Amino acid sequence: MTNNANVAAGQQKLRSKKGHERRVNGTIYTVLTVMSIVWLIPFVFLVLQSFRSYKLEKGGMVDYLLPKHFSLDNYAFLFEGSNFFSWLGKALIVALVAAAVAAALIHVCAKLLDRGEDSRGRRIALIGGSLLVGFVALVAMTMAMQGFTLAGSWKNLVISLLLYALAGWIMARVYLKQDSKLLRTIPGYMVEDRHQGIKKFCAMFAEFGALALIIQCILAPMTMSQYVRWYGNTLTIALFTAVIQTAIVLSVSYSLSRLRFKGRKLIMNVVLILGLFPGFLTMITLYFLLKQLGLTQAGAVPGLILIYCASSGMGYYISKGFFDTIPKSLDESARIDGATRFQVFLKIIMPLAKPIVIYTILMAFMAPWGDYVFASYVAFGHQDGYNVAVGLYNWVNTNDFQNYFTRFCAGGVLVAVPITALFLALQKYYVEGVTGGAVKG
């Protein structure tokens, strides 16, 4: 009897516990739903406003949420006076063909190198020759499609040739080389590891395509509207900053984590103290330093890149924490095998540090993408040197504010979409970086 009563009581308890659980979960769902609405509302409004018809409802702030007429007016305004879309269409065609040509050339190179004897001279001649062919083909196509005339553009031609040679050389080396033996990779995508081979081939294709796009920007620039120019500035700054800053941060954190030398502790202490000073303290001084170098106003883009990168070595903590976790025995065994420290860094540590490299690139890219304060200083008063943040901020704060609010929304949407997609795709690395760095302190 008592036994049964106990069981019944237990079941009762369990049931009430379940009920309790359900109530708790219900509360949590409610809270989360409310939060989601609060967090999403501004963005939903932003997008809605950006689609409001400019012709019928003007561009100011209004007291209703849903636009009465939807249209793309505001977006059209952003591109007004720019041949962006026709330029992009042509450029993409050229880039596709150029990438295909490059891939074919590398393929032929690989076959020829595989067949004949492997000498340095032959390698250089073959790769160099095919790069030259590829470049000539690219320029010819650009001229044909974008109506580019050579007169007065020798400087640009030389710059893009150097760019193509450098980037192409690196890419060719990467795709043609495996260990000391020349290539097995490209034929490999047909035979050995099909999946890997195709992946590699796609990567090469994309990289050559991107290279072709950049070179077209130099050789046959599009006519730009204000907004497109700002966007271009932002993109340029963010890309360069991401690359340079990552290189700097990684080299600083590697040497502070792995190498032992006189003054290492001193450097770390000095950086710690310097970090206590607010960044704004130095702003005016930086402006005058840049001015002396001619990197303000018209030179705002390189100036900003310089500013973002110059002191970035101070943010080494997180990646140093990561490097500290890689076992030292790896380095030591490589050193015993005769590798120099440079080789250890490049060939052993870097491949293992992929998460932190991605984290660093992500951070280095996002910071200048949204930066307003420094950008507004350096570009001060020179419209062509603005980045999107400064430009759009300027729009909402002009006297003509009522006309520009929805345009600001449209511009904001176009800026936010790519970076949001990138961040959401890579957020795993963000969490890893932040918590990893925090755990190791």
Partner 1 sequence: MVDLDYLKMSKPQKFIHNLGKFFMSLPGRIGGGFVKLGRSIGGFFKGIALAIADLFTTFKNGDWKTRLSYLVMGSGSMARGQWGRGLLFFLFQTVFNLYMVNFGMAYLSKLGTLGTVATEKVGRKTVYGDNSFLILLYGVLTLFFVLAFIYTWYMNIKQNRIAQQIEASGRKLKSTKEDLQSLADSQFHKTLLALPTLGVFVFTILPIFFMILVAFTNFDYNHQPPAKLFTWVGFENFKTLLSSGSASYGDTFRQVLFWTLVWAFFATFLNYFLGMFVAIMINKKGIKLKKVWRTILVMTIAIPQFVSLLYVSKMFAADGLINTYLMKWHWISQPIPFWTDPGWARFTIILINIWIGIPYLMLIATGILMNIPADLYESARIDGANAMQMYGKITLPYMLFVTGPYLLTSFTGNINNFRPHGFADHLAVPHDRFRHQLQDRRRHRHHGVRGAGCDQPGGLQPDTVREE
By the rule CB under 8 A, 92 interacts with partner 1? no
Shortest reach from residue 293's CB to partner 1, in Å? 10
User: Smallest distance, Å, CB 306 to partner 1?
Assistant: 8
Site for partner 1 in 165-204 (CB under 8 A): none
Site for partner 1 in 349-408 (CB under 8 A): 366, 369-370, 372-373, 376-377, 380-381, 389, 392-394, 396-399, 405, 408
First-to-last CA distance in the chain? 61
Closer CB to partner 1, 223 or 420, in the complex = 420
Note whether 274 binds partner 1 by CB under 8 A: yes
By CB under 8 A, the residues from 213 to 252 that bind partner 1 are 248, 251-252
> Residues of 298-331 as b/e, b for ≥16 C-beta within 10 angstroms?
ebbbbbbbbbbbeebbebbbbbbbbbeebeeeeb
Q: Indicate which single residue of 1, 66, 191, 281 sits in contact with partner 1 (rule: CB under 8 A).
A: 281
Find the shortest distance in angstroms from Cβ 69 to partner 1: 19
The packing angle between helices 84-115 and 194-219, to 10°, is 130
Residue closer to partner 1 by CB (options 32, 162) is 32
Residues 6+ apart with CB under 8 A from 36: none
Residue 441 CA to residue 438 CA, distance in Å, equals 5
Binds partner 1 (CB under 8 A): choice among 106, 212, 286, 349: 286
Q: Are 67 and 57 in contact (CB under 8 A)?
A: yes
CA dist 160 and 170 (Å) reads 15
Instruction: Judge whether 181 and 110 are in contact, CB under 8 Å.
Output: no
How far is residue 374 from each of residues 13, 274, 300, 316, measured CA to CA in Å? 62, 19, 10, 21
Shortest Cβ 84–partner 1 spacing (Å) = 21
- What are the structure tokens assigned to 36, written together? 């989601």
* Residues 21-80 close enough to bind partner 1 by CB under 8 A: 21, 25, 28-29, 31-32, 35-36, 38-40, 42-43, 45-46, 61, 63, 65
Which residue lies nearer to partner 1 by CB, 45 or 85? Answer: 45
Site for partner 1 in 314-343 (CB under 8 A): 314, 340-343
- Which residue, 165 or 310, is less far from partner 1 as judged by CB? 310
Query: Measured from the CB of residue 432, what is the shortest distance to partner 1 in angstroms?
Result: 7
**Coil vs helix vs strand at 67:** coil
Nearest approach, Cβ of 1 to partner 1 (angstroms)?
Answer: 28
Closest distance to partner 1 from the beta carbon of 56 (Å): 20
- Name the one range near partner 1 by CB under 8 A: 20-28, 102-110, 224-232, 352-360: 20-28
Q: How far is the CB of 292 from partner 1 (least distance, A)?
A: 8
Farthest CA pair distance, the chain:
105
Shortest distance (Å) from residue 120 CB to partner 1? 20
Structure tokens at 352: 């293992």
CA-based torsion, 74, 76, 81, 85: positive or negative: positive
Torsion of CA 141, 146, 150, 151, to 10 degrees: 170
Q: Which of 271, 326, 334, 352 binds partner 1 (CB under 8 A)?
A: 271
Q: Number of residues in contact with partner 1, rule: CB under 8 A?
A: 94
Q: Of 66, 121, 277, 337, which lies in the binding site for partner 1, with binding defined by CB under 8 A?
A: 277
d(CA 363, CA 389): 17
Beta bridge pairs of residue 52: 70
Judged by CB under 8 A, which of 269, 282, 325, 383 binds partner 1? 282
